[in-house]
Amino acid sequence: MGINDTPGHDVGDVVLCEVAATLRAAARGQDAVGRQGGEAFVLLLPRTGPEEANVCAERLRQAVASAKPGAGLRVVPVTASFGVAQAAAGDTWRTLFKRANEKLYHAKSDGRNRVAMAG
């Protein structure tokens, strides 16, 4: 169930903005954070190997889980699931995103609030 489904759009929009701010604050200077749509975000971790990407994703997951978004409206506990994939020779944005998205769904189906890494 999405963040806007339970507390409503007024609270959900504030929470999404605060989650984005949490991700940006916890990301490294070289990383890019963007909202893909809904409550999905995409992070680009340039010059980062798979193990380091996994560590980064776990750090970001913990930052989101420990945040208390709500901007005074009402605190809404939030968790984050991450799918991590590394670009390979011949990848397009589409194929890379597809692998990361598949891992995201594995993380969600395995209980949420976790990081799943493409092999």
Q: Which residues are designated catalytic?
A: 39
Total residues found in the chain within this entry = 119
Cα–Cα distance, 54 to 71 (Å, whole number): 30
Residue 2 identity: G
Residue whose C-alpha is closest to residue 100's, from 16, 37, 88: 88
* Residue 64 and residue 15 in contact, taking contact as beta carbons nearer than 8 Å: no
The residue with tokens 């901007």 is: 71
The sign of the CA dihedral 37, 104, 18, 29 is negative
- What are the residues whose beta carbons fall under 8 Å from the beta carbon of 34, sequence distance 6 or more? 41, 42, 43
